[in-house]
Amino acid sequence: MDKLIRSIKFPIVFDKEKLQNDLKKIIDKNWIDHYNTNDYSGKWTSLALMSHNGKSDTIIALPNSDEKLVATEILDSCLYFKEILDGFLFEKTAVRLLQLAVGADIKPHSDHCLGYEDGSFRLHIPIITNSEVEFILDGTRLIMNEGECWYIDANFIHSVANRGTQDRIHLVIDGVRNQWTDNLFYNEASQDQFIKPVPVMSEEQKQLMIAELHRMNTPMANQILKDLE
């Protein structure tokens, strides 16, 4: 049975007034359209607080890149954002503000290798939201309130629709798993809930493998056949 944790609401609450004050300082900056243009309709834009080149318009997340992130030109003016980031003791692979405009929706999709079981993860901190935002993760609606801190396993199908009258803006942080994060996550769920289940072979796949092993007819293949049959 698949026991993987889909989401966690951490017992962490940030000051939403301070979050929104920092946002006001940069709200008029040049927000960049999200690069996955086939995955959404309406307006979905982003600003980078950290990026590989230190520019806020470099919004692409590269989780497997060896390049380290540096603060962009807008982070120095956002002291509370910086305080939050400094308090998360893990390597960041993307730090962005994501804005989903009124009437926009992000189509159902999954992100590759972005679950804690992969050694990487994504955190959401809502700054501005409304009760009509529908965030669906693996068939379950998540209600994320301003100032809360959430983990979502983005390997599972998820979608977002802003059906309200106010744009929705989240601080979204991608990071690399370490001992510090293990302590954080394991306080909320057991360790075995972050281990990928072993894939179950269908009967058709098993018969195809047996046929191939018979064709090979080697000592090792014959030993595997004994185990299978």
Residue 78, token pair as written in the block? 């956002």
Kindly report the CATH number assigned to the domain that includes residue 45. Answer: 2.60.120.330
Residue 203 shares a structural domain with residue 185:
no
Compute the average pLDDT of residues 51-76.
84
Amino acid 184 reads L
Residue 204 shares a structural domain with residue 187:
no
Residue 75 shares a structural domain with residue 157:
yes
Residue 75 shares a structural domain with residue 185:
yes
Residue 104 shares a structural domain with residue 138:
yes
Report the DSSP beta bridge partners of residue 159.
136
Compute the average pLDDT of residues 31-44.
88
Residue 176, domain member (yes or no) = yes
Residue 85, token pair as written in the block? 């980031």
Residue 207 shares a structural domain with residue 142:
no
Residue 187 shares a structural domain with residue 208:
no
Q: CB–CB of 10/151 below 8 Å?
A: yes
Flag whether pLDDT at 212 surpasses 80.
no
Q: Cα–chain-centroid distance for residue 57? A: 20
Of 204, 144, 189, 149, which Cα lies nearest the Cα of 168?
Answer: 144
Flag whether pLDDT at 64 surpasses 60.
no
DSSP three-state, residue 26: helix
Cite the beta strand spans of the chain per DSSP E.
Answer: 7-13, 32-33, 40-41, 44-51, 70-71, 92-100, 105-109, 120-128, 133-137, 140-142, 148-152, 158-162, 168-176
Residue 186 shares a structural domain with residue 214:
no
What pLDDT score was predicted for residue 107?
A: 94
Q: What percent of the chain has pLDDT over 90?
A: 72
Q: Cα–chain-centroid distance for residue 161? A: 17
Residue 21, domain member (yes or no) = yes
52: containing domain: 7-194
Residue 2, domain member (yes or no) = no
Residue 181 shares a structural domain with residue 102:
yes
Residue 92 shares a structural domain with residue 153:
yes
> How many domains does the chain fold into?
2
Residue 225 shares a structural domain with residue 144:
no
Sign of the C-alpha dihedral computed for residues 8, 12, 13 and 14 taken in this order: negative
**Tens of pLDDT, residues 101-155:** 999 999 999 988 889 999 999 999 999 999 999 999 999 999 999 999 999 999 9
Residue 99, domain member (yes or no) = yes
**Average pLDDT value over all residues in the chain:** 90
Residue 152 shares a structural domain with residue 213:
no
Flag whether pLDDT at 1 surpasses 50.
no
Residue 1, domain member (yes or no) = no
